[in-house]
Structure formats: structure tokens, C-alpha cells
Amino acid sequence: MSLSQKKVSLIGTNGIPARYGGFETLTEYLAINLNQEYDLYCYCAKTPKKNRLKTYQNTKLIYIPFKANGWQSMIYDAISIVDSLVKHDILVILGFSGVFAFPLKFIFRKKLIFNIGGIEWQKVRGSKITGKLEVIVKKWFEWICVKSSDTIIVDNQVLYDYVKNEYGIESILAEYGGDHAVKETITPEVLEKYPFLDKGYDVTVSRAQEDMNIHLVIEAYKSIPKRNLVVVSNWEISEYGKTLKSENQHKYDNIYLLDAIYDLKVLNTIRSNCDIYLHTHSLCGTAPSLTEAMSLKLPVICFDVATNRATTEEKSYYFKDVESLKGILDTLDLTTIFKLGEDMFEIAKRRYTWKRIISLYKKSIDLYAQN
């Protein structure tokens, strides 16, 4: 059987074309780069019939009548996995929402390539009792997924070390490409909508979750009126976001709080013309937004966690709280900022290209496609 006859499914995202986060973008690049060698299938979340495509990038799209996020995600992923185990040869699964369907691979004898996504039990936030129970359950879910998979893929050296120490398994380290992010020139139309673009400004882009530490950044810039801060976030998804926005919107002349921007050209205009990019994530592996910022040659300052240090090879500046962030901003001069951008870009060119990342996935798929 030739490689082109092997049926490979892509599972665990909203689907393609990519309109959301890192997993969706990864899925799209897998489709773009592997569609000539395999018979590709991508599972897509609940979508109105009028908006459905039959194929995209020579990849067949299969729609499941559930959402890919929230409580429905476990049903959505499990159905996708079962359907694929019946119909396809190799499953590329992103995230462990479909945990209960993983062991079925031993019945169907299909190959599972699993991207662990992150250490989900470390992200638990709750009371002593419910939080402890959730940690136990998520650790169990993780164990099932890892033990059921033929290949484990991780997106950060910290996760690689975790899987090796916890399960004795050598995983494949494949981060995310960032080279799809391109520098955009400020147009009169965009400038009219976002007047701060003709000033110097720093920017951060993240979801409105407490572990994204937006509150620390806003608090720091309140006492640095000479620096402008632009925060792009989906404020309405959480009480944390709603509160932050209501308490700070239009209260400070140097702080601009923008709703999430899904027009990539506009978002890249705002990102690529900033003075400094602040990466605030604390509970992720290698964040796609960080590899994109590095690929844009932006000077990056990161929240101080091991995963961010691994992504930036210890060459960024790292803050833990309001005072440490203010201290960094106070000491940076133009020469240091320029070198910081150069260092981030050098790492991105070497590690965070889609050509390199896709080659790692292809090697894993090829291993099973040839059997």
C-alpha cells in the first residue's frame, strides 16, 4: 500500500480553515503540506450547513454536531476518534478531550499520534475538595491517553522532560511555527481606527484568564505613564476579563484595552509595529503567540516560567510581578531592545518554522504509513 492510500485523520480542533488558536493553525499547515502524500480527513465542530465546506486544502472535512470547546468538547472529540478508528488508518489527535475513546484503538488496531497539549492537571483552579478531585481525574485522563498512544508529541522541552520522567517515554519535541506572521505596514484606514499606532506602544495579546496575568501588566503600566500599553483580549469570556475591562477601560490615558481581533492583517499591524511585546502566559507549553512574536522580530519580555524560558532559550527578560516588570521596563534602552528583537528572531528562524515542525509530524506519520 502506498503512502497516498493511507487515511490520516486530524482530530481535536474546531477544524479548518483555521480561525482560532494554535492547534487550528497547526492542523491547517498539516493539511497544506501533507495532502499530496496521504488521504487526509479533518474533523470539524458544529457548523451551519450553509457555511460548511466539503474539502479544504485537498483534505476532506467531517462535521460533528457538537462544539469543540467547553463541556461538549469531550463528546465531540470522542465521536471523532471513534469514527476515525472505524474508517481511517492513522489518527493525529491534538489534546485529550476524547480520552474515553483512546483505549478503543486496541480493538481497532489503528495508530494514534497524540499531542499532549499541556499538563492539564496543573491548570486546575478550585476549592480544596473539588480542585483535588479534578487533579486526580485529569491525571488519570492523561495516563489513559499517553498509554493508549503510539507516539507522543510535546510542544516544549519542559513537557518533554515531564513525559520522560513521569512515564519513561521519549516523546517528539515539535513546537509551533511562527513564520506565518508577517510584518504589516500601518494603513490610513487602520490608523483611523487605532490612533495609538502613530505613538510608541507596547502590546500583549492573550485570553482573559487569570493565568495570563493581564492584571499584572495593567497594574505596572498605571505607574508608567510615559509608556503606552495595548492589551488585546476576549474580555467577555470570564468574570476576570469583564472585571479588568470595566475597572480600567478609559481610566488611564496610556492604557488601551481592545476586544479580540480575528482579522490577522489588522492584528499583525498592531503587533509588528510595537516597541515591546509582553508575553504573559504562565500555564502553557510553547505558546503560538510567542513564536509568532519572535518571528516578527519583536523584543519580547516574558512572564517567568520554565516553559517561556525554554521557548526563548533564556535570552528574553522575565518578570514575576508588577515590580519586576517595572524594573525591566525602566532599565531597557534602545540598544538592548534592538538586540532583544534580533535574538528572538534568530531563535525563531532556527526552531519555529512550519517547514521544520511539519517535517517532525511527517516523520511520525511515515513510520506507521510504511507498515
What integer pLDDT is reported at residue 210 of this predicted model? Answer: 92
- The dihedral sign for the CA sequence 359, 97, 12, 296: negative
Which string of b and e fits 27-59 if b means at least 16 CB within 10 Å?
Answer: bbbbbbbbbebbbbbbbbbeeeeeeeeeebbeb
What integer pLDDT is reported at residue 2 of this predicted model? Answer: 47
Give how far the C-alpha of residue 338 lies from the chain's centroid of Cα atoms, to the nearest Å.
26
What integer pLDDT is reported at residue 232 of this predicted model? Answer: 96
What integer pLDDT is reported at residue 119 of this predicted model? Answer: 79
What integer pLDDT is reported at residue 20 of this predicted model? Answer: 65
Please give the Cα distance from 83 to 25 (Å, whole number).
23
Domains and CATH numbers, the chain: 3-177+353-369 (3.40.50.2000), 188-351 (3.40.50.2000)
Ranges of the chain with pLDDT below 50: 1-2
> pTM of the entire structure?
0.92
> pLDDT by residue (tens digit) across 25-73?
999 999 999 999 999 999 999 999 999 999 999 999 999 999 988 889 9
What integer pLDDT is reported at residue 122 of this predicted model? Answer: 79
> pLDDT by residue (tens digit) across 225-248?
999 999 999 999 899 999 999 999
